[in-house]
Amino acid sequence: MKFAIALFAPPHAPSSRRALRFAEAVLAGGHEIVRLFFYQDAVHLASSLPVSAQDELDLPAAWRTFVTEHQLDAVVCIAAALRRGVLNAEEAQRYGRTSHNLEAPWELSGLGQLHEAAQDADRLICFGGD
C-alpha cells in the first residue's frame, strides 16, 4: 500500500512522535511512503537549529535521519516555513536574511505537493492540526 503522510503539529506535540513511529511501521510492514508533507507548525521539524535536552528524543534529528536513511520525499510547505522563519539558503538570500536553517534532505514547495501526494497514494494519513 502507498501512503502519503502529512504532519501539522509542532515538534513537542505527541502526534509528531507518533507520526514518526507510524512512518517507521509503514516501511517495516513493506509498504511505501510516496511523500511526507510538513505543514503549519510541523515545519519546525525540518529546522536544523533546535537543540534537545540530553535526556530527550531529538525529534527533528530523528526525522532527518529517517528521511535520509530511506531516501524519502520530504516536502516542507514554503508558505508555512517562511512565516515561521524556516528558510533554505535560496530563500534566505531572496529575503535578505543572514542565515538559513533548512538543508537536505528537506525540500521547500507548495501545497500542490500535498495534493499530488494524496492522488498518488492509496491513503493520506494526517497527524496533528486543529
Going by their DSSP bridges, the two strands 123-127 and 74-77 should be labelled as unpaired
Cell numbers at residue 51, please?
537543540
DSSP state of 49: -
Q: Exactly one of 23, 77, 86, 121 is catalytic; which is it?
A: 77
Q: Is 77 a catalytic residue?
A: yes
- Strand extents, DSSP E, the chain: 2-7, 32-38, 74-77, 107-109, 123-127
Active site residues: 77
